[in-house]
Amino acid sequence: MSISAALKEELAGRYSSIKEFSLPEKVDIGSRAPFSIEGHLDSEVDWPNFAIGIFYIDGPADELTVTVEGREFKVSRNMGVVKYAKPREGELQPCLTLTMSGDVLIEEEGSYRLSAMTGWFDEENNVLYYDDKIDKTLEGVTPGLPWWIIALAGGAAAIAVVGGVVAYQERRREEELIMALLARR
């Protein structure tokens, strides 16, 4: 067993676990960061349902636009979007897997902390009681120039610098020559 697998087992919830939470580390401002979550019910529980969700924990924006299965949600800090399954025949069976995918629109530069969670959803109070949780950080960055423009600009800058240095040295030689001529007089 690898160290990361051992760590994952140690961090898993008591009854459920997040098997996957993919989210890029960086995204350009004004772009959407895709995410996917896979939650797994590991053992029998007496929960009313099994739920997974993505939550906006902290960041510079007051709210984020999260799209899940084609529907957009405005999500404030410490709020999220939840998907859940109700049990058949009164019991939730182990090995139940739920998936959720979508994207998060990042409109301000900065560091955003998002969490994937598994647990159960209290429909009456609109609260997710989580059993497992994984946090990830997403950096909203100012879009950069394409690499080929940067390479061209770098080459032009090198030529300009060489040209500037040469021009400076030539002028300095002229000044030294004039000073030498003046010193001979």
Residue 144 has a pLDDT of 67
Residue 12 has a pLDDT of 66
Residue 86 has a pLDDT of 85
The pTM assigned to this predicted structure is 0.72
Residue 31 has a pLDDT of 95
Residue 90 has a pLDDT of 65
Question: Between the CA atoms of 9, 12, 15 and 21, what dihedral angle is there, to the nearest 10 degrees?
Answer: -120
Amino acid letter, 90: G
Block means of pLDDT (10 residues each) for the chain, 185 residues, are 36 86 96 97 91 96 95 94 83 87 97 96 91 96 64 44 38 48 49
